[in-house]
């Protein structure tokens, strides 16, 4: 099911983020690993993975909002891929989504639309239902 209002808000907020997106992947990875030191070893090659992981997270959220057909198989694929790295739990994915949303909001500052956090969170919640189903 697509949500045109959320899609518009997500796109508007990405425009507001603008150049402040640069470097976000490295910051996200650094903060995520600091908060989850038990996974330090799982990140064997973070420089190579960080851009892809960040971009594909945002793509999945945008795709979920606009009801794209490929979102379900994308979630299956990334959850399966991650089984090779460690036994991640739903909370790990939830924390990652939260960190991504909060970091974008902080970087965008005053330019960030008022309702954008909630709009991103709705996509995270939808994707989390799929992630949790994959992991159970
Ligand atoms: C929406 C959520 C996520 C998406 C779309 C995603 C996507 C990706 C992608 C595309 C890669 C790169 C794979 C490659 O280059 O071969 C990757 C790597 C990785 N991801 Fe994620 N990821 C997500 C969440 C998470 C979470 C929550 C964790 C940890 C709890 C995690 C841990 C890792 C690890 C350990 C690697 C390998 C990094 C390395 O080689 O250094 N990911 N992820």
Residue 120's CATH number: 1.10.490.10
Tell me the whole-structure pTM to 2 decimals: 0.96
Kindly give the distance from the C-alpha atom of residue 42 to the centroid of ligand 1, in angstroms, as a whole number: 9
Q: Whose CA is nearest to atom 12 of ligand 1?
A: 49
Kindly give the distance from the C-alpha atom of residue 22 to the centroid of ligand 1, in angstroms, as a whole number: 19
Say if ligand 1 is within 6 A of residue 89 CB: no
pLDDT per residue, tens digit, the chain (136 aa), is 679 999 999 999 999 999 999 999 999 999 999 999 999 999 999 999 999 999 999 999 999 999 999 999 999 999 999 999 999 999 999 999 999 999 999 999 999 999 999 999 999 999 999 999 999 9
Q: Whose CA is nearest to atom 27 of ligand 1?
A: 93
The structural domain count of the chain equals 1
Closest CA to 116 of 6, 28, 1: 6
CA distance 37 to 29: 11
- Domain range enclosing 86: 4-135
Taking CA atoms, 98 is separated from 35, 41, 103, 126, in Å, by 12, 22, 8, 13
């Amino acid at each position: 099911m697509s949500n045109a209002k959320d899609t518009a808000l997500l796109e508007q907020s990405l425009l507001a983020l603008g150049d402040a997106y640069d470097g976000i992947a490295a910051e996200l990875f650094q903060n995520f690993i600091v908060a989850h030191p038990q996974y330090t070893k799982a990140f064997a090659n973070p420089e190579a993975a960080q851009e892809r992981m960040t971009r594909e997270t945002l793509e999945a959220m945008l795709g979920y909002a606009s009801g794209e057909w490929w979102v379900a198989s994308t979630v299956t694929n990334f959850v399966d891929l991650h089984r090779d790295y460690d036994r991640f739990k739903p909370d790990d994915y939830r924390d990652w989504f939260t960190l991504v949303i909060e970091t974008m909001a902080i970087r965008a500052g005053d330019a960030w639309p008022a309702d954008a956090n909630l709009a991103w969170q709705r996509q995270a919640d939808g994707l989390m239902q799929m992630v949790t189903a994959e992991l159970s």
